[in-house]
Amino acid sequence: MKFKAILFGRSATLMAQTEQLYRFINSNLKLEDVMGSSVLLATRETDTESQLNQASTDKIELVRVSDYQAETILKVLQRLEVGDKVDLYIFPNGALADDIAVRWAYRIKGSSLVQVKAIDRSKTGLRASKATYANHVRATFRMIRKPYCISLAKDGVVPETTSIRKRASIVEHDLSDLPADRQIMSEWVPEESVSDLESTRFLIIGGRGMGSDAACRELEKNALAMGADFGVSRPVAMNAWAPMHRLVGVSGAMTKPDVCIAAAVSGAAALYAGIAHSKKIIAINTNELAPIAKAADVVIIEDYRAVINALVKIVMKEKSKIS
């Protein structure tokens, strides 16, 4: 097996990423059975001397690039890939690495998986494991189609000092003259996580009874208007009406709010485990026989929309008095 480990020279955590890649390679690949090199992508303005003192592999390719835009990096990889058959591309941790790993796999007709914790070679392909369901479950995936493209999961803070290794042999390429594409400027928004729900004091949960993603978005909007955090049941998350980090229950956030309003939620055991420690549970449901009705402190048998809309009006009226 032949692999390449990709590094981004602009990163303030480059040394930590180098160490992470080194540990990952040595822990997951039988080095007597593989050949590999590191590719350090860096602009001419980037000081790479200190980074080159340590490497994830014995060989390193220093590739000068014009910028760190994803499309530029993909073009560089395409230029390097010509005549160089690689079985496995390993990208570091981070949003840019996740993006490029997936897009590069598509371009070279391979397979991809992001946020990988470990890999294991088999006769039928590559087995890769990662955390799923808001980090509550570790799943193993079989990657069949080569080349494999993976990015690594964040493995905590890595010390600035790296393991003592011999200096790598260096080959430099200047690809900074590749034609630039029209750039689309974007701003990264910090990712939310289940911890946002686990620390909330006021939580509103929407269930499958909402009926659609539009209704889900409307309930979330009303929850925010009342100063509540918004969570969903498993069927809602699996229908992609809301992102997985909004999932409440054994596969998601285990919450303990002062007040939890469960709207259009049946109250399956898996979800109830995530709200069981609430001080007050208010259930709004049209089915008086739903399991949540037996577990709640207060039960309102009504269409949740009418109740929530009335609550929003009351809360907004009280807020206007205070202001």
**Predicted confidence (pLDDT) at residue 216 exceeds the cutoff of 90:** yes
Quote the CA–CA distance of 147 and 161 in Å, as a whole number: 32
Quote the CA–CA distance of 270 and 276 in Å, as a whole number: 10
pTM higher than 0.75: no
What is the overall mean pLDDT for the chain? 83
- Reported as a pLDDT band with limits 50, 70 and 90, residue 209 is very high
pLDDT value, residue 168: 56
pLDDT value, residue 20: 83
Top mean pLDDT of 28-32, 121-125, 263-267 is at 263-267
The sheet carrying 259-263 orders its strands as: 229-232, 202-206, 259-263, 280-285, 298-301
Homologous superfamily (CATH) of 195-322 is TPP-binding domain (3.40.50.1220)
pLDDT value, residue 161: 44
**Predicted confidence (pLDDT) at residue 163 exceeds the cutoff of 50:** no
- Domains of the chain, by residue range, sit at 2-174, 195-322
- Reported as a pLDDT band with limits 50, 70 and 90, residue 188 is very low
Q: What are 253-312's pLDDT values in tens digits?
A: 999 999 999 999 999 999 999 999 999 999 999 999 999 999 999 999 999 999 999 999
pLDDT value, residue 201: 95
pLDDT top residue among 53 and 140: 140
Report the helix count and the strand count for the chain, using DSSP H and E: 10, 14
Residues contacting 299, CB < 8 A, separation 6+: 282, 283, 285, 288, 293
- What is the token pair recorded at 205? 């949960």
Contact 97, 91 (CB under 8 A): yes
- Reported as a pLDDT band with limits 50, 70 and 90, residue 110 is very high
Q: What is the mean pLDDT of residues 15-42?
A: 79
What CATH number belongs to 2-174?
Answer: 3.40.50.620
Decide if 2-174 and 195-322 have a common fold.
yes
Quote the CA–CA distance of 167 and 81 in Å, as a whole number: 24
pLDDT value, residue 210: 96
Quote the CA–CA distance of 84 and 46 in Å, as a whole number: 26
Considering only CA atoms, which of 161, 262, 164, 245 is closest in space to residue 207? Answer: 262
pLDDT value, residue 156: 44
Residue 230: Cβ-neighbour burial (10 angstroms; 0-12, 13-18, 19+): buried
Q: What are 222-247's pLDDT values in tens digits?
A: 999 999 999 999 999 888 899 888 99
